[in-house]
Amino acid sequence: MKKGKAKRSQKRYLSIVLVPHSSSRVKVFRFNSFYIKLVTFFMVLIAAFVAGGLYISKLLEENRTLKENVISLYSTTAEQNALLQKKTEEIDTLRKESEAFREVVNDRIEEFTDKFNRLADEYLEERSLDLRASRSGERTETAFVADMRSLKISLDRLGVLYSRSGLPDADLDSVEERINAFMEVIPTLWPVEGRITDRFGYRKDPFTRKKTFHYGLDIAADVGTSIKASASGKVTYVDYTYATGRTVKIDHGNGFITVYGHCSRILVEPGQQVKKGDVIAKVGSTGRSTGPHCHFEIHLYGTAIDPLDYLEKK
C-alpha cells in the first residue's frame, strides 16, 4: 500500500535537474504538476490575448484605411460629378449656339443661292448671245465679264461656306457648269507671263518715232517661251505678216477673236480646236519687232479692244 501511494505522490511533481559545468553539484527543482498546468494555461491565455489584440489592431488599421479610401472616393466622385455637370452645361450651350448659327447660316445660304441663281440666269440666258453694249445702255461687255468673275468668286466662296457649315449642298452644279463654259470662251488668260512693254492705244512708233495707234498689248519674254490660248476656240489663221511676223488668230465665238504675233514657232494649224491654256506657239521676234515679245490683240465683233479690260487682274 505504501508503495502505491509513493508512486502516485511522485506523479504529482515535475522535477527539473540542472547540472552546472563549474561544479559537480547537481541541482534539482521540483514543481507540483497542478501549478505547471496553471502556468501553462495562463501562458496560452496570454498568447491568445496578444494574438487577438494584434489581429484586432490590424483589422482596425485596415478599417481606418478603407474609410479614408471611401472618403477619398466619395470626394473624387463628387468632383467628377461637378465637372461632368459643368461640361454638360457647356456642351448644351454650345449645341444651342451651334443650332442658332446653323439656322442663320442656312437662311443666308438660301438667300444667297436664290440671288446667285437669278443673277446667273439673267446674265447667261439673256446676255450671252450678245456681248455688245446692252440695248438699255446700262451695261457694257467689259462690265459683263467683270460681273461673271465676281459670280465665279462668289460661287467658290459659297462652296467653302457649305463645307464649313455641314449643311446640304445646294444645286449649284448646273450654274457652275454654265459659268465655267462661258468663261472658257472669254479671253481672260494671259498668253505669256512677262513685262508689259507697250499698251493698247496711241504710242510713239519705235521705228518711225511718229504717234500711231497700237491695237494690242506687247508682253516681253524670252525667245521660246510658251504662248497659251487666252480662251477656248478654233484656230482660223496661221501665217506670216510684215507687221506681226508669224501670227495666229483664234475665233472664240460670241464675237471674240484673239491675235498672237511675232512668234518664233507656231504649234497649231487652221481649223484646229484649242482649249483655254493650250500652248499654241513660242515667243519670238519675227516681223516688225525690236525684241522678243508676244503681241496680243482682242477683237470684239471686228473692233480691237484693250486686252487689259478682259485679262485676269494681277
Tell me the pLDDT tens digit for each residue of 237-280. Answer: 999 999 999 999 999 988 899 999 999 999 999 999 999 999 99
Q: Are residues 276 and 240 in the same domain?
A: yes
Of the three residues 184, 216, 241, the one that is the final residue of a domain is: 184
Q: Are residues 292 and 220 in the same domain?
A: yes
Has residue 218 been placed in a domain? yes
> Residue 190: what pLDDT?
96
Q: Are residues 212 and 268 in the same domain?
A: yes
Of the three residues 122, 154, 184, the one that is the final residue of a domain is: 184
Angle separating helix axes 33-121 and 141-165, nearest 10 degrees: 160
The whole-angstrom separation of Cα 99 and Cα 109 is 15
Average pLDDT, the chain: 78
pTM: 0.56
Q: Are residues 174 and 212 in the same domain?
A: no
Has residue 37 been placed in a domain? no
Q: Are residues 285 and 260 in the same domain?
A: yes
Q: Please report, for the domain that includes residue 302, its CATH number.
A: 2.70.70.10
Q: Are residues 202 and 304 in the same domain?
A: yes
Q: Are residues 235 and 260 in the same domain?
A: yes
Instruction: Answer yes or no: are the C-beta atoms of 175 and 155 closer than 8 Å.
Output: yes
- Please give the full DSSP string across the chain, using - where no structure is assigned: -HHHHHHHHHHTEEEEEE--SS-S--EEEEEEHHHHHHHHHHHHHHHHHHHHHHHHHHHHHHHHHHHHHHHHHHHHHHHHHHHHHHHHHHHHHHHHHHHHHHHHHHHHHHHHHHHHHHHHHIIIIIITT--SS-TTSS--HHHHHHHHHHHHHHHHHHHHHHHHHTPPPPS-HHHHHHHHHHHHTS--S-SS-SEEEE-SEEEE-TTT-SEEEE-SEEEE--TT-EEE-SS-EEEEEEEEETTTEEEEEEEEETTEEEEEEEEEEE---TT-EE-TT-EEEEEB--SS-SSSEEEEEEEETTEEE-GGGTSPP-
Has residue 149 been placed in a domain? yes
Tell me the pLDDT tens digit for each residue of 175-184. Answer: 667 777 778 8
Has residue 57 been placed in a domain? no
Tell me the pLDDT tens digit for each residue of 116-134. Answer: 667 666 666 665 555 554 4
Q: How confident is residue 235, by pLDDT bands cut at 50, 70 and 90?
A: very high
Q: Are residues 173 and 201 in the same domain?
A: no
Domains contained in the chain, number: 2
**CA torsion, ordered 56, 60, 63, 65, to nearest 10 deg:** -130
Q: Are residues 171 and 267 in the same domain?
A: no
Q: Are residues 218 and 297 in the same domain?
A: yes
Res 187 pLDDT > 60? yes
Of the three residues 184, 219, 245, the one that is the final residue of a domain is: 184
Has residue 26 been placed in a domain? no
Residue ranges making up the domain that contains 178: 107-184
Q: Are residues 140 and 204 in the same domain?
A: no
Has residue 151 been placed in a domain? yes
272: amino acid identity, one letter: Q
> Residue 24: what pLDDT?
65
Res 1 pLDDT > 50? no
All cell numbers assigned to 259:
491675235
Has residue 23 been placed in a domain? no
Res 6 pLDDT > 90? no
Q: Are residues 174 and 199 in the same domain?
A: no
Has residue 120 been placed in a domain? yes
